[in-house]
Structure 1
Amino acid sequence: MKDQDLIDVQEVAPAEVGELDLYQRREKIYTRKIEGFFQKIRLFTGWPLLIAYFGLPWMMWDGRQAVWFDLPERKFYIFDLILWPQDFPLLAFLLIIAAFALFAVTVVAGRLWCGYTCPQTVWTSIFMWLEQRAEGSRNQRMRLDKAPWSVEKVVRKIAKHGSWLFVAFATGATFVGYFYPIRELLPDLLRFSAGQWAMLWTLFFTLATYINAGWLREQVCTYMCPYARFQSVMFDKDTLIVSYDAKRGEPRGPRKRNADYKALGLGDCIDCKLCVQVCPTGIDIREGLQYECIGCALCIDACNSVMDKMSYPKGLIRYTSERELEGGKTHWLRPRIIGYVIVLSLMVGLFSYRILTRVPLELTVIRDRNELYITTAQGQIENIYTLSLVNMDNAMHEFEINVSGIEGAVIIGDTLHTLFGGEIRNINLRVRAAPEQLTTPSAEIVFRAQATDQPDLQARSESRFMRPL
């Protein structure tokens, strides 16, 4: 990609600030409530996340919690799927796929994730709604904060922070409920009988939610989230972004509804500043693309409502590309997008194949190093091994153990073992071989465990068989 195809993300300082100070004191943002097409879309992206987050721990599956990360037992239950520490590479691979998907979406549609699905955005919207219910509209909240303390002000503040803490506690307790059975956790928390770690982590995530969504809000997106800083690397002139059409809107200025603003030399923007009042990060989108913009489209709905009232065409602020604003046409099929689609398809295909062909059985073999070998009275050679057999399936299976790699080698001990679902068993056994079959001091030997009722459920592990020099 050529350098001229990239677009700049600006850092716009307030007019009264000569130099942008990254550590300047936060000024509280009073957002205005607005409704519109894109806000209805956000309901369909935010509510599924909330329902899944709060509902999954309460679902029962096969007599247990459907989604449960059992750390003491080192098992992650996700419906029928049971993941073990040995499956962590799959989790890392899944995170890589998610990162690539985020990059691909960013190239096409900018910060779509931030504006519609990011938990920080969703929970902040909930807290802002509770704030509006407790303290009123934007102007009412501003007047309330400036007013001296009174009974009404105290009651409204308590109602706001009380509702925030309730949602924060529900969020924190639900998160801990993924690791601690939630049907036991909530009664234990209410009785203060939960373990200290459960109570500590619940308190931690409660405070984290309360502070992030209630107090920090836009600062999380602006300063704490690294995505805001490197998004411009992925943007190009064809990326869909929330933009103000300066050619159509400038020069801006107030006017009467039925005035001939063209004769007055004005553009479509009436400078009502409604787009600024609804912005959760407090920016003026008319100043150009800024890294604080999370693409939530609140300013689009606000501007469209004004355009409707003024009988002007909608779209003064809209989702568009830099190339389209310059009079060109957005290119949808671009090398970067094609590359992301190909890579993502391959990664998703490989991940799906690994999940579908995953064998819920693990066999590990450790040879006894205290005694390299044993010579029997008949002159045969024996080695001692410890096998760790893990049945990662839900069902009980009987497994048969056999060896190969050395002709005539036999196992001395029980070769049939029945393991319950999720059971780990250490098995001590000896392997005997004739010395004439051993041509070198160290020979490779292969152990195999196979379910007698399910032949495709098998695992193997290699080790060494030692003989006298």
Structure 2
Amino acid sequence: MTMESKPKDFSKQSRIKIHQPDASKADRFNPRNRIYVRAVDGIWSTLRRRMGWIALSFFLILPWIPWGDRQAVWFNLAEQKFHVFGLTIWPQDLTLLAALFMIAAFGLFFVTTYLGRVWCGYTCPQTVWTFIFIWFEEKLEGARNKRIKLDQMPWSFDKLWRKSAKHTAWLLISLLTSMTFVSYFVPSAEVYIDVFTLNASGGVYFWVVFFTLATYGNAGWMREIMCLHMCPYARFQSAMFDKNTFIVGYDASRGETRGPRSRKADPKALGLGDCIDCDLCVQVCPTGIDIRNGLQYECINCGACIDACDTTMERMGYDKGLISYTTENKLDGIKESVLRPKLVGYGVVLTVMILLFIYASATIAPVRMDVIRDRNALYRENNLGEIENTFTIKILNKTEAKHQYQLSVEGIDNAKWIGPQTVDIDGGEVLTLPISVAVDPVELKRSVTNINIVVKSEIDGELVTTTQETRFFGN
């Protein structure tokens, strides 16, 4: 039973149950039904806009920050190198990338357990780009009521130019977004110059067009459909919620019974609560829900309904906070508990993973070596009567500067190194070097001996030693 049909029943269950919409509002789940979002000002809307602009600015600027002879952030798929400022991640270091994703996941779990879906409401790209598109829509087509009337009007010159200008703006934003995203994988200067001079490769054109259309469709047309029907986060977030998670909540005990009244009227004398049933909280919601119906998975915790309600309460001379960031326990009059086992557990795991990631990132070896034995023959006897084993050594210079490396073998006395023992390798290059190790049979105590191939180099004033164990076979 909804609050409208039974306004005095404000049990816990009625407030927190997943909303089952009545027939009059069921069409909001229809992908073809458009939601006209009303503009709202307030502390949370201002915070959301500023955080959105900060996130957008980082996204647009990062590919243009120089770092030596390259851009600071560059995911070079062609050469299998991920550059993040001074850190270069190679395929051999992809465990770092996996750890980074795990940190992001546990960070999301921690924040969601504590603050609910603030990621969705304030920093999710879908939310940020959707509100940017809505801003252009408002500037070119007018406020919410004007946009509704415009869509209902027959086609005219005024409607044509407004619609054309809006979609042109959307496409330009989408194109800028797409080219910026591609610039993380292809040098940004090349992307912009080559695309507009028609010198880019077919792959670059494909991804630019693909992400342009994806951004245009997601933020311009699909909007809340992504949140309601496609985003999996809305579905599994309930597993992270508890009774102390901050949610956008409506204080039904204060707001009911709803009803319009004049500013001078005494609501208590009329048997009414503080809610004047203006429906502004519904009109400003980007997913089209009525927060007064309780906790709903479609709520993205953006706080727009809080700003709208606080504005109405201020005009009516009532206390703010009828809709607010609150918890289930607070709504029930139960003392809140910030430190609870699940939140502490997420926090501890997140902290440990961050520390391990920092340590692993700071201790990435600047040199990597692989030693591959000759698979055709275990050993051979050369013309001097020595036992000779052949190896292929691959040395990867993981720095961005050229360095000289000294190679040697340890583990067998008087072993001869056949091949170059001093090599120069450019930054980011892999040297493949075939060599042989020869030993007098007298020095061999057994048929299989463990040996070490050693590579030494002075990097940034520090002697770096890399060792790879292998086996030497004799007769």
Please indicate the TM-score interval, normalised by the length of the shorter structure.
over 0.9
Deviations 1:47-98 (A, max 9, x none): 1211111111112111221211122122222221112111111000010011
Conserved? CA contact 1:9–1:232, under 8 Å: no
Q: Which residue of 2 aligns with 1:189?
A: 195
The CA deviation at 1:402 is 1.4
1:50-449 aligned within 5 A: 50-449=56-455
Name the aligned partner's letter for residue 462 of structure 1: E
Equivalenced residues, count:
462
Where 1:263 maps in the other structure, the secondary structure is helix
User: Which residue is 2:469 aligned to?
Assistant: 462
Question: Quick check: 1:29 aligned with 2:35?
Answer: yes
- TM-score w.r.t. the length of structure 1 is 0.95
**1:368: how far off?**
0.9
TM-score scaled by length of structure 2: 0.94
CA distance in 2, matches of 1:346, 1:71: 30
**CA deviation digits over 1:381-412, x for unaligned, max 9?**
11111111110112221111112223332311
Q: Is the contact made by 2:19 and 2:294 (CA closer than 8 Å) also made in structure 1?
A: no
Q: Please give the alpha-carbon distance, in whole angstroms, between the structure 1 residues aligned to 2:323 and 2:144.
A: 22
Which 10-residue stretch deviates more, 185-194 or 300-309? 185-194
Which whole-Å CA distance do the structure 1 matches of 2:48 and 2:246 have between them?
A: 17
Alpha-carbon spacing, 1:424–1:149, altered in 2? closer, same or farther (3 Å): same
Provide the secondary structure at the position in 2 that maps to 1:425: strand
Q: SS in structure 2 opposite 1:457?
A: strand
Unaligned runs of 5+ in 1: none
Query: Which of 11, 17, 21 matches 1:13?
Result: 21
CA distance in 2, matches of 1:25, 1:183: 39
CA distance in 1, matches of 2:44, 2:229: 26
Cα separation, 2, equivalents of 1:460 and 1:218: 55
Per mean C-alpha deviation after superposition, the further-off stretch among 201-210 and 331-340 is 331-340
Q: Is the 2:27–2:33 contact (alpha carbons within 8 Å) kept by the matching residues of 1? A: no
Distance in structure 2 (CA, Å) of the matches to 1:143 and 1:426: 70
Moved more, 83-92 or 62-71: 62-71
Aligned Cα root-mean-square deviation (Å)? 1.8
How many Å separate the matches in 2 of 1:44 and 1:23? Answer: 30
Counterparts of 1:167 and 1:262, CA distance in 2: 51
State the SS of the aligned residue for 2:226. helix
CA deviation profile, 1:324-357 (whole Å, cap 9, x unmatched): 0001121011111111121111111111110111
What is the identity, as a one-letter code, of the residue corresponding to 1:234? M
Letter in 2 for 1:461: Q
Which residue identity lines up with residue 337 of structure 2 in the other structure? H
Shift of 1:8: 5.3
Unpaired stretches in structure 2, ≥5 consecutive residues: 1-11
Larger mean CA deviation between 66-75 and 278-287 belongs to 66-75
The Cα of 1:23 is off from its aligned counterpart by 7.5
- Counterpart Cα distance in 1 of 2:191 and 2:181: 11
The question of whether the paired residues in 2 share the 8 Å contact of 1:400 and 1:452 is answered with no
Tell me the CA shift for residue 198 of structure 1: 0.1
